[in-house]
Structure 1
Amino acid sequence: MGFSIKRHTVNKSKKDKMTIMSRRFVCSKAGSRQPDKRDNNITNPRAETRTSCKAQMAICLGGNGKYMCHEFVGEHNHDLHTDSTVHMMSSQRHMSDIHMYEIDLADDSGIRPRFTVELMGRQAGGIENLSCTTQDVRNYLRTKRMSALSYGEAGSLLKYFVTQTKNNPSFTYSVQLDSEEQITNIFWADPKMIIDYAHFGDVVSFDTTFRTNRQCRPLGVFAGFNHHRGCTVFGATLLYDETVESFKWLFEVFAEAHGGKKPITIFTDQDAAMTIALTDMWP
């Protein structure tokens, strides 16, 4: 049986501003979420995990220089973790260097996070023996991929786009940012691509199997044929991942860049996520 805790209030000495005079620890499910005033139209709100639990412990520094407990509430208003779920507690979840090495190898081999966790769980004698969950693996990979595109590279890319736009206003590009204001997906099309698509964009081929860049980010190319049966490009993109959300964003900005024109026929590599996005965006 177990539960996670979090530090609540702290009082420090007025003399050295360092010595902790008192500290209060509460259950991780203490309190409740306050209404978010920033947006009243949140479509996918996070599930409420706090239950206003009153369990807590307060300690203070005594005259003998030792800390003593002067308040304790041990009753919880929620179920505690059992032995089979204790590994999911925040205080018990951490990622070791060995785990990060195995996750990197699995990701380079194209293994999805869910299967990576299952593999590591079998090696450890069960998922309950792991110190990380599938969501921890996804968060780790996301942080790693986001940091791969450093500020200098992102700045150089945006500078190039701005320069091209100044030289020719018909040059268009779109950049998608995540919640941390980091660049995820990028799309661009130069004037020749826009003109070619206006004439030869009824049939389009789109593929994201190109990963020749150093970060192995999916490079997608919208291509087709002109009246001389020569290959022509209608647009290009660097994606963060190949998910339904990324493809929906891409198809939306592609159509906007070309004046709302959508292709009549599109050839793809039969990617499942791409199929769902195409059905929703270009039925």
Structure 2
Amino acid sequence: MEKDGKSNLEEVVSIDSEEDTTPKIGMEFDLEDEEYLYYNIYAGYVGFSICRDWLNRSKANKTTIISCKFCCFKASYKKEVAYDGKKSRMELRYGCEAQVVISRQKNGKYRITLFEAKHNHEVATLRSKHKLPTQRKISAAQAAEAELANRSGIRQKLVFEFMSKQAGGRENLGFTLKDTSSHLQSKQMREMKEGEAFTLIHYFEMRKSENASFFYEIQLDVDDQITNIFWADPKMVVDYDLFGDIVCFDTTYRTNKNHRPLTPIIGVNHHRQTVVFGAKLLYNETVETFLWLFQILLKAMCGKKPVTIFTDQDLAMAKAIVEVLLEPHHHLCQWHIYQNALKKLNTYFQSLNSFAAEFKSCMCDHEYEDDFFQAWESMLDKHGLQENSWLIIFEVREKWAMVYGRNHFCANITTTQLSESFNSRL
């Protein structure tokens, strides 16, 4: 298989018929791998998968292969395994004798010395050939498309279905959903060795070697992949011990290429200057993630809990605060509440000049609970909002109405603006 002194394996790959790729005794190849690829191309047209059965190496040079046998992946026999004494696993191997044997010649080339084409089992149909192990392959273009979609946050299953439609069906795609997942995981592992994760951990270890009080924690998933990261330097820990009664907690995006939430933990000192108590890179914003986050915060800060914590209207975060922190008074950011009201009740804000003032008054002005109740009911009756679904925020009024917050220390803070300002500067 030689042309102008070079292997024409690339031409072989483009052959379109089974007859053209059928191995023949006497065919020669420059490399043992070339014969493997050639036989695999033939197997793809026929509808079976191949494997190396055995090989013999030179005694003088262990890297030199003297002879080798490639066979159908159903060549050997495999014992059935019973489950619960009732069902047995479907037999996958049948002692198939389809094979190719090659041997090294004096000229250094590998010649086919034996070829058996007959199978003792049914081969794969056209619609199922793409599931054969040695026929599944993701091209460079397909890999790039999957990686781009993954970085954009698109689910792997949706990417796979879209690429299948582009190819005219799954059978034309050349790989399975599992192959997509394996490729992305392998890429992540390669990048981790000398990528962002490696650099970050190296930095943490360097800081910890300089000062043993430097704290960091990394959470891994079931596949030992990094999910969440928390760190706090010694100054952050000391600041939290002194000023950690008030904590502003917010998530921000667009600070890293993967758009993972960066979560700085912010407070104020005795001069009302912003201080940072710690930072986290989160994989997502689920209840489980926030549970881990608050548990690690307490671990880093020797168990000290804040008196008051400010957040936005994140339900997952609220559940985690109740379960882990328990004691702190949870305030919702009044600015977020007002902005959400502008979106949900936009018609009333635009058409009624008095509505904005009345809503804001309910949030900030009243000193007694009875006055707050009366003003709230008056606003609902006046504008016909008794059945408005968004105004169920009344059920969590203790978290946003100032009439309830006056009895809790909050350093005159009512919003998470501290976090947002810090994010903006960062």
Q: TM-score, normalised by structure 2?
A: 0.46
Asked if the contact 2:269/2:275 (under 8 Å) is kept, the reply is: no
Change (3 A) 1:193 1:134: farther
Q: Could you tell me which amino acid in structure 2 is paired with residue 116 of structure 1? A: V
**C-alpha deviations, 1:162-200, integer Å up to 9, x for none?**
343244322111345789988665431112332344453
The worse-fitting range, judged by mean Cα deviation, of 104-113 and 152-161 is 152-161
Change (3 A) 1:100 1:21: closer
Q: Is residue 93 of structure 2 the alignment partner of residue 53 of structure 1?
A: yes
Asked if the contact 1:176/1:183 (under 8 Å) is kept, the reply is: yes
Aligned length: 261
If each structure's helix is expressed as a fraction of its own residues, which one has the higher value? Answer: 2
* Structure 1 partner of 2:51: 6
Change (3 A) 1:102 1:186: same
- In the alignment, the residues of structure 2 paired with residue 220 and residue 175 of structure 1 have an alpha-carbon distance, to the nearest angstrom, of 14
* Structure 1 partner of 2:67: 21
Asked if the contact 2:51/2:72 (under 8 Å) is kept, the reply is: yes
Change (3 A) 1:160 1:259: same
Change (3 A) 1:181 1:123: closer
- In the alignment, the residues of structure 2 paired with residue 97 and residue 221 of structure 1 have an alpha-carbon distance, to the nearest angstrom, of 36
Change (3 A) 1:140 1:69: closer
- In the alignment, the residues of structure 1 paired with residue 303 and residue 90 of structure 2 have an alpha-carbon distance, to the nearest angstrom, of 45
Match runs of 1:192-203 below 5 Å: 192-198=235-241, 199-200=243-244
Change (3 A) 1:67 1:156: same
**C-alpha deviations, 1:17-44, integer Å up to 9, x for none?**
6354342535269658xxxxxxxxxxxx
Overall identity of the aligned pairs, in %: 33
Q: Is residue 265 of structure 2 the alignment partner of residue 223 of structure 1?
A: yes
Asked if the contact 2:249/2:264 (under 8 Å) is kept, the reply is: yes
Q: Rg larger in 1 or in 2? A: 2
If each structure's strand is expressed as a fraction of its own residues, which one has the higher value? Answer: 1
Q: Is residue 249 of structure 2 the alignment partner of residue 205 of structure 1?
A: yes
Q: Mind listing any 5+ residue stretches in structure 2 that lack a counterpart?
A: 1-45, 80-88, 106-110, 327-426
- In the alignment, the residues of structure 2 paired with residue 201 and residue 176 of structure 1 have an alpha-carbon distance, to the nearest angstrom, of 26
Asked if the contact 1:206/1:268 (under 8 Å) is kept, the reply is: yes
Asked if the contact 1:59/1:69 (under 8 Å) is kept, the reply is: yes
* Structure 1 partner of 2:21: none
Q: Could you tell me which amino acid in structure 1 is paired with residue 113 of structure 2? A: Y
State the structure with bigger RCO (CA 8 A, min sep 6), 1 or 2. Answer: 1
**C-alpha deviations, 1:54-110, integer Å up to 9, x for none?**
434355468x9642258987358xxx7554333232222211122123224423443
- In the alignment, the residues of structure 1 paired with residue 160 and residue 211 of structure 2 have an alpha-carbon distance, to the nearest angstrom, of 49
Deviation at 1:250, TM superposition (A): 5.0
Q: Mind listing any 5+ residue stretches in structure 1 that lack a counterpart?
A: 33-48
RMSD over aligned CA atoms reads: 4.8
